[in-house]
Amino acid sequence: MVSQPAYLPFSLPSSTSPDDFSGSLLFYISFILLVSSFHLFAPFISANGDNNKTERKLSWIITSVASLVMTVQSIPFLYDYFMSGGSVKSVRAAPTLAVAANRFFQAYLLADLTTGSFHYRSQINLLTGWIHHIVYIGIVEYAIRQGWASLFSLCACMEFPTFILGLSILIPRTRSNVFFAVSFFLTRILLHAVLAICLYMPWNRPLPQFSEAAIGSMGPAIILTCVFPLHASWFYGCIKGFIRRAKQAKAAKAEGATAVPEKVTEVSSVPVPVPVSIPVPAKLVLLPLLPPVPVPLPILTLASHLLRRPYTHYSHYYTRYTHYRTRFRAFRAEFKEGVKRNTTNVRESWKEGTKKAKDYGKKAREGVREGVRGRSNSIGREMFYEAVGLGRRSASSSPTRAS
């Protein structure tokens, strides 16, 4: 019977099997080593850095150590992946190394949150700090339970640019923006997209542990797809930083080209016998007041043009969308007003017509009643007159009969 591991690696397992205990033990040892490495290097960082950058440097100690370890352990899995021609199923499981690396990464996530809460709280924000670390603890635990620890160890090579960035922050003289950008693009953009596409293919989907399904799960592909927008946003910020620094360098170079060199000032300070009556040309006086001449940089100009082209293209569609949306809203408001106005008119006309019909019916009923009453009176009078006439005729004819 296979024992089920604990839901979280830092809680005691429900069983006491050697596998569960070794997994928890690896987590505890990794957590202690990472926290100890922070306290080992923190005094040197605090002593050499200024007060404004101390917390930022402290926040990268544990991250740099963890990213280096995860990058090194991913090399065997990365080798299998490339030697097999991009087949994820050909990557060796290596459960001992893979599970140990996964537990180490979980320990790093918890150690970073715990240590940061005490020593560099301002550097842990909500999205890339708490939410990111807690979600990844769950993702790694899910990968271990499904038997996909080797797949996560393969994806751990994406921690290489994190190590480059952390090293450049801790040791500023090792900073290389181009190297970081290239490594970030190759691992977290290109390789990330390729792995996600491969895992969507039915023949590359990994089978869950203790499962008899014929087709593998799409869970890893969906997870990579959900994480990709975060990596893309970070890379977009990196490109924006390149553009900003290029503009600053361009402006500084332009200002340096228009400035008067110091050596010229020293030479011009030597007295020269110039007649006082000769006027100084206005062009020489106004020369320092001219605006700086921009120095063309073809590579940067081309890159910025390629970056601005999609923005200009889609901003045109957004402008058209805004225009038609405004027109549609005006038409909708006018239509509603017309319907409301016509409904009111129809309601009032209906009420007026109903009232007239009621009045006409009332008058008609009264006319009928009057007519019936008058007809009845006339008939009664005729009958009365007829009766009276018969009586008179009978009275006048009775003596004749008697005679």
- Report which of 128, 324, 150 is spatially closest to residue 233, judged by C-alpha positions: 128
Q: How far apart, in whole angstroms, are the C-alpha atoms of residue 229 and residue 345?
A: 55
Nearest to 167 by CA among 52, 60, 33: 60
pLDDT of residue 272: 52
**Structure confidence at residue 259 (pLDDT):** 59
Q: What is the per-residue pLDDT for 6? A: 42
Give me the DSSP letters along 88-144.
GGGS---HHHHHHHHHHHHHHHHHHHHHHHHH-GGG--IIIIIIHHHHHHHHHHHHH
The predicted model scores a pTM of: 0.58
Strand residues in 169-280 grouped as ranges (E): none
- Distances in Å between the alpha carbon of 1 and those of 4, 9, 211, 248? 9, 21, 15, 65
CB 63 within 8 A of CB 169: no
Mean pLDDT by runs of 10 across the 403 residues of the chain is 41 39 77 93 70 80 95 93 87 89 95 92 86 93 90 94 92 90 94 92 78 73 92 91 87 73 50 52 47 50 59 75 88 87 85 86 81 70 68 55 42
Distance from C-alpha of 237 to C-alpha of 219, rounded to nearest angstrom: 28
- Rounded distance between C-alpha atoms, residue 164 and residue 191, angstroms: 17
Name residue 117's amino acid: S
Backbone φ and ψ of 163, nearest 5°: -65, -40
Question: With b meaning 16 or more CB within 10 Å and e meaning fewer, what string describes 4-41?
Answer: ebbeebeeebeeeeeebeebbebbeebbebbbebbeeb
Burial class (CB in 10 A: 0-12, 13-18, 19+), 237: exposed
Q: Is 121 exposed, middle or buried (0-12, 13-18, 19+ CB in 10 A)?
A: exposed
pLDDT for the residue numbered 264: 46
Q: Determine the pLDDT at residue 402.
A: 42
Q: What's phi and psi for 92, nearest 5 deg?
A: -65, 145
Q: How far apart, in whole angstroms, are the C-alpha atoms of residue 61 and residue 82?
A: 31
Rounded-to-integer distance, Cα 223 and Cα 230, Å: 12
Confidence at residue 13, expressed as pLDDT on a 0 to 100 scale: 37
**For 210, left (φ over 0), alpha (ψ -120 to 50), or beta?**
left
Rounded CA separation 158/162 (Å): 8
Rounded to 10 degrees, the C-alpha dihedral 116/132/161/242 comes to -100
Among 163, 140, 162, 136, which Cα is nearest to 151's? 140
How long is the chain?
A: 403
> Within a 13 Å sphere around the CA of 131, how many CA atoms are in the beta-carbon half?
6
